[in-house]
A and B are shown apart, each in its own frame.
Chain A
């Protein structure tokens, strides 16, 4: 987990052109991830977790949205690329080959009329240039690797013949077939029950132990993130409000939103705890973000919170927060960058 970052995202801005105006979905997101590292991403519904990940893989349809700013430097095997500037053609060599993606709903995410073997083989044929026979036997190997019993028979089965958890294993096999170095999993266990969820998490840990696979794991579930991640990003209103090592985050949360999240978890451990129960509603994304997105709901808010927008600022080594207020010291924090402010104030 040491060394150079595999992916460095800087100032990502993604907007949608909806019928009733622009939706400012992602308002400057920056983070990085190193080889072999697991990065947990949490945040309530609509905070921009999925849009961030889709933006990185060029999966936002140009008919509905666009990436307005930012860079995402990825150290591909063939040299460094900026994911935010690739053409659809160039993405063909990144998706699947360099970055694999696993989605939330394993039944709708698999083609119902294609055998799982062929769905895995497609990636192998595309990226590794394997023929039919070779890719088939590699697909069987992949199924075995993700823990599907009797893989040489199951390879010819269709998605509906698998249980929910097994389907998600198949999804992981597809995502990892061509040997990517980064796997982005967008709420991969949300649709699964707790036991199956634990099995999938164990599987990913095993797979990571075998290689230097870096994983971005998006989740609603703080318990899942606590058990899996090395580092955690907390998202709110299309921004990252806090970023820290997993232990640091849970023991010493700095941002009022993160504290609210952790406080809302009942005392008996973290497992299964969903983000919820902070009074108020998520911010409107109709306008460009020029104040703290949490200002409406924050019990620590001060005057400037509604005028200026705090940037993600380092507090200690590998711990950053985007907040003007130091809760523990009960005073304004020094040196917090102001990255936007409302005009005429």
Chain B
């Protein structure tokens, strides 16, 4: 994409109102176009993977199924047609929002996903919020006071978050907070209380990473020349810290937050199983166990699509926060 902009001569840029060139020049349009292309790529790859691993029909049925049953499935899902025709049909279906029918639930896979996803989204979003609310202030405070007790705490949390095995933490939380002290429910959904334990368990790794990243970014930005300029203007220490140091330091967090959020969606698969939360993770777990091929495929595409959208959101946010990116610098 960037080579396209580079190759257009400056004069031609302003003279020719070529819509393609305009898309290529506008950072946001460019990212949207890239995301759409990527989404199609993912769908095609998932589609091919299913066909490459052999006859999908035989994978979808139980081991003891006979040839007749397999043939029936083949026909239902159109596996007997030429691959190119299957692909175009499939792409057409996906574009119109039809991700296929679940074998297990005898229902539209998209509807199943849509009914389960909010729960997972809330879990991951809560986990992300936990991580950010604790990590950012701690990282900023630590980085602003290197060597002080608050910095030692920040470093400790940073390492702890990284090395704590989540299965161990989950058991610890269930045993103590849930069972022994009876403070919070350990399974199911319903109230915000049900969310606390699983979200916390899911947040710990990201929290550690965010603390470390924020702290080191603040330490780095503190020594930038523009911070010296801000001080030489006579700004109060707090104004320098807030407007010049923290703002620039948090820029480096944006892309990582996006990545961590999609990791958390993945992590919710086992967290949901442990805490008996009927989210997307649990649906996927059930689909895999039941060899519900269309459902597995639909969830894969859905998560891939969500990840691509998250990346897009991250990049747009980046562009909003950092003018150098927005202007294609």
Are B251 and A111 in touch, CB under 8 angstroms?
A: no
Q: Determine if B247 is an interface residue (Cβ-Cβ < 8 Å).
A: yes
Q: Is A146 in the interface zone, CB < 8 Å from B?
A: no
B235 touches A109 (CB 8 A): no
**A93-128 vs B, Cβ < 8 Å mask (1 yes, 0 no):** 111110011010100111111100001001100110
A111-B244, A160-B323 are contacts. A123–B234 as well, Cβ < 8 Å?
Answer: yes
Please tell me if the beta carbons of B228 and A113 are within 8 angstroms of each other in the complex. Answer: no
**Considering the chains assembled together, what is the distance between the CA atoms of A92 and B225 in angstroms?**
18
B225 and A160 contacting across the interface, CB-CB below 8 Å:
no
**Do the beta carbons of A103 and B228 come within 8 Å of each other?**
yes
A-contact bits for B250-293, CB 8 A (1 contact / 0 none): 01000000000000000000000000000000000000000000
On whether A111 and B234 interact (CB within 8 A), knowing A122-B243, A160-B323, the answer reads: no
A91 within 8 A of B: yes
Assess whether B224 is in contact with A108, with CB atoms less than 8 Å apart: yes
B228, B232, B251 interface centre (most CB from chain A within 10 Å):
B232
- A59-B228, A113-B321 given; A160·B243 CB < 8 A: no
Of residues 214 through 231 on chain B, the ones whose CB sits less than 8 Å from some CB of chain A are 224-226, 228-231
Chain B contacts for A175, CB-based, 8 A: 232
Q: Which residues of B lie under 8 Å from residue A140 when comparing CB positions?
A: none
Contacts of A103 in B (CB 8 A): 225, 228-229, 232
- On chain B, the residues within 8 Å of A96 by CB distance are 232-235
Interface presence of A161 (CB below 8 A): yes
* Residues of chain A lying within 8 A (CB to CB) of residue B234: 91-97, 123, 126-127, 178
CB distance from A74 to the nearest CB of B (A): 14
A109 contact set on B, CB distance < 8 A: 225-226, 228-229
Pairwise interchain contact B233-A108, C-beta atoms closer than 8 A: no
Contact of B232 among A88, A101, A108 (CB under 8 A): A101
How far, in whole Å, are A112 and B244 apart by their CA atoms in the complex?
10
Set of chain A residues within 8 Å of B321, measured between Cβ atoms:
113
Are B232 and A57 in contact, with the CB atoms below 8 A?
yes
B271 CB to closest chain A CB, in angstroms? 36
- Asked if A174 lies at the interface with its beta carbon under 8 angstroms from chain B, I say yes
Q: At the interface, yes or no: B237 with Cβ under 8 Å from chain A?
A: yes
Closest beta carbon of chain B to A157's beta carbon, Å:
9
How far in angstroms is the closest Cβ of chain A from B255? Answer: 15
Q: Is the CB of B236 within 8 A of A92?
A: yes
Q: Given the complex, which residues of A lie within 8 Å of B235, measured CB to CB?
A: 92, 96, 122-123, 126
CB-CB under 8 A from B239, the residues of chain A are 122, 126
The answer to whether A31 has its CB under 8 Å from any CB of chain B is no
Chain A residues with Cβ below 8 Å from B323 are 112-113, 158, 160-161
Which one of B225, B231, B236, B247 contacts A113 once the chains associate, using CB atoms below 8 Å? B247
A127, chain B: closest CB distance, angstroms = 6
Binary contact readout A162-173 vs B (1 if CB under 8 angstroms, 0 otherwise): 000000000100
Q: How far is the CB of A230 from chain B (nearest CB, A)?
A: 24
Q: Which residues 60-103 of A have a CB within 8 angstroms of B?
A: 88, 91-97, 100-101, 103
Is B17 an interface residue, CB under 8 A from the partner? no
* B248 contacts partner chain A, Cβ-Cβ < 8 Å: yes
User: Are B324 and A160 in contact, with the CB atoms below 8 A?
Assistant: yes
Instruction: State the Cβ distance, B175 to closest chain A Cβ, in Å.
Output: 45
Q: Are A123 and B324 in contact (CB under 8 A)?
A: no
Expressed in whole angstroms, the minimum distance between the Cβ of A275 and any Cβ of chain B is 23
**Chain A residues whose C-beta falls within 8 Å of the C-beta of B329 in the assembled complex:** 160
B248 near A59 (CB under 8 angstroms)? no
Contact of B229 among A97, A113, A174 (CB under 8 A): A174
Residues of A within 8 A of B231 (CB): 59, 95
Distance between Cα atoms of A101 and B232 in the complex (Å): 6
Contacts of B55 in A (CB 8 A): none
Is B106 an interface residue, CB under 8 A from the partner? no
In contact, B232 and A59 (Cβ under 8 angstroms): yes
B322 within 8 A of A: yes
CB neighbours (8 Å) of B229 from chain A are 101, 103, 109-111, 119, 171, 174
B324 / chain A contacts, CB cutoff of 8 Å:
112-113, 158, 160
Using a CB-CB cutoff of 8 Å, which residues 120-158 of chain A contact chain B? Answer: 122-123, 126-127, 158
Separation in Å of the A251 CB from the closest CB of chain B? 36
Per the bound structure, the CA–CA distance linking A93 and B234 in Å amounts to: 6
Asked if B327 is at the interface of the complex by the 8 Å CB criterion, the answer is: yes
Q: State whether B233 touches A112 (Cβ < 8 A).
A: no
Smallest CB separation, B317 vs chain A (Å): 13
Give residues 153-209 of A contacting B (CB, 8 Å). Answer: 158, 160-161, 171, 174-175, 178
In the complex the two chains form, is A126's CB within 8 Å of B233's CB?
A: yes
User: By CB atoms of chain A within 10 A, which of B228, B247, B248, B251 has the most?
Assistant: B228
Which residue from chain A places its CB closest to the CB of B221 in the assembled complex?
A111
A126 to B236, CA, bound (A): 9
**Which of B233, B321, B327 lies at the interface centre, i.e. has the most chain A CB atoms within 10 A of its CB?**
B233
A-B contact pairs, 14 of them (CB 8 A): A57-B232, A93-B234, A105-B225, A110-B226, A111-B226, A112-B226, A113-B248, A113-B323, A119-B229, A122-B230, A122-B235, A123-B234, A126-B235, A174-B233
Q: What residues of chain B have their CB less than 8 Å away from a CB belonging to chain A?
A: 224-226, 228-237, 239, 243-244, 247-248, 251, 321-324, 327, 329
- List the interface of chain A (C-beta within 8 A of B): 57, 59, 88, 91-97, 100-101, 103, 105, 108-114, 119, 122-123, 126-127, 158, 160-161, 171, 174-175, 178
**A-B contacts besides A101-B232, A109-B226, A122-B239, 6 pairs, CB < 8 Å:** A59-B228, A92-B235, A110-B229, A111-B244, A126-B233, A161-B327
Q: List the 5 closest A-B pairs by CB distance, nearest first.
A: A96-B234, A95-B234, A108-B225, A96-B233, A101-B232
